[in-house]
């Protein structure tokens, strides 16, 4: 197989996992699913339609840990990280081989959000920088697996849904990746994200933890510039917070100090 499709999910029954595969609209694919927060650790390998499927049932928790575990289980030339609400239009897979044949370190396909309230930016062809990828995350990117393994590119375990700090895992991953490698945007589109509520947080958003997490992440990303970048972020997105501005700054600062205290 040229591509392993790595899907992160948690607390899913076997029936629900089969539905995730159906909904993904992947065909003749190698699919590896990390199903976290299970009672015991084991693996199941089976064919489903024309797909080869491996499910990793794990008692572990956190999207970053899930993706790291899936990466180590992959064997294909390229891998892509998917959530359980991602699906492909019929023609997308047919267009991927030509990009793989270019032997790019990583290439990206535009991802469309089905939720108009959570739009995903669309890009034209060319090299993508950090701030481009900060807006779109890992969705739609196909990475050369050996590069990730040999350079020890991994997701930060303390960051991401289900972890101590709830967001920013993709940005940290790409900050490290782009120091050595490139991501090329392609002309292909047709990957969709349903963009429903997070399966980790749902409607139970905790703004305090979110702001502390932002501070922790920004400290990793921007070092001594974390605070000005954070203030800009809070001002730009203030309408999305119910917390008073001064409290937003206070919680953000807690996260910055927590990360700096680890050095």
Q: Looking at the DSSP assignment, which residues form a beta bridge with residue 30?
A: 4, 52
pTM, full prediction: 0.93
Q: Which of 22-36, 81-95, 188-202 has the lowest mean pLDDT?
A: 188-202
Mean pLDDT throughout 3-21? 97
Q: Is the pLDDT of residue 163 over 90?
A: yes
Question: Residue 18 in contact with residue 48, Cβ under 8 Å?
Answer: yes
- Full set of structural domains in the chain with CATH: 3-193 (3.90.550.10), 207-260 (no CATH)
Question: Residue 191 in contact with residue 139, Cβ under 8 Å?
Answer: yes
Model pLDDT for residues 88-147, shown as the tens digit of each residue: 999 999 999 889 988 999 999 999 999 988 889 999 999 999 999 998 999 999 999 999
DSSP 8-state assignment for residue 159: B
Q: Looking at the DSSP assignment, which residues form a beta bridge with residue 144?
A: 78
Coil, helix or strand at residue 185? strand
- Position 200 scores a pLDDT of 45
- Position 237 scores a pLDDT of 87
- Position 235 scores a pLDDT of 94
Model pLDDT for residues 178-199, shown as the tens digit of each residue: 999 999 999 999 999 998 765 5
**Residue 227 exposed, middle or buried by CB count within 10 Å (0-12, 13-18, 19+):** middle
DSSP 8-state assignment for residue 239: G
**Residue 201 exposed, middle or buried by CB count within 10 Å (0-12, 13-18, 19+):** middle
Structure tokens at 46: 């089976």
- Position 240 scores a pLDDT of 84
Question: Residue 161 in contact with residue 151, Cβ under 8 Å?
Answer: no
Coil, helix or strand at residue 70? helix
Model pLDDT for residues 238-262, shown as the tens digit of each residue: 888 889 999 999 999 999 999 999 9
- Position 12 scores a pLDDT of 96
- The per-residue pLDDT of the chain, averaged, comes to 93
CA–CA dist 136, 140 (Å, integer)? 9
The Cα angle at residue 195 between residues 214 and 92, in degrees rounded to 5? 115
Mean pLDDT throughout 140-164? 96
- Position 198 scores a pLDDT of 55
């Amino acid at each position: 197989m040229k591509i392993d499709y790595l899907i992160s999910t948690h607390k899913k029954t076997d029936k629900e996992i089969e539905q995730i595969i159906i909904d993904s609209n992947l065909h003749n694919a190698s699919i590896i699913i990390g199903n976290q927060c299970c009672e015991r650790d084991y693996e199941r390998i089976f064919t489903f339609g024309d797909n080869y499927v491996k499910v990793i049932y794990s008692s572990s928790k956190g999207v970053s840990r899930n993706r790291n575990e899936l990466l180590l289980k992959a064997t294909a030339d390229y891998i892509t990280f998917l959530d359980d609400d991602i699906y492909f239009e019929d023609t997308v897979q047919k267009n991927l081989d030509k990009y793989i044949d270019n032997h790019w370190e990583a290439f990206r396909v535009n991802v469309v959000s089905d939720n108009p309230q959570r739009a995903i930016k669309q890009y034209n062809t060319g090299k993508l920088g950090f701030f481009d990828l900060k807006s779109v995350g890992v969705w739609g990117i196909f990475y050369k697996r050996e590069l990730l393994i040999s350079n020890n590119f991994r997701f930060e375990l303390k960051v991401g849904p289900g972890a101590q700090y709830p967001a920013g895992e993709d940005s940290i991953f790409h900050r490290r990746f782009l120091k050595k490698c490139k991501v090329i945007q392609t002309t292909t589109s047709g990957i969709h994200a349903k963009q429903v509520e997070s399966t980790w947080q749902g409607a139970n958003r905790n703004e305090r933890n979110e702001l502390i997490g932002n501070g922790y992440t920004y400290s990793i990303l921007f070092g001594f510039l974390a605070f000005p970048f954070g203030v800009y972020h809070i001002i730009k997105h203030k309408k999305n917070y119910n917390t008073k501005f001064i409290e937003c700054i206070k919680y953000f600062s807690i996260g910055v100090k927590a990360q700096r205290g680890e050095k």
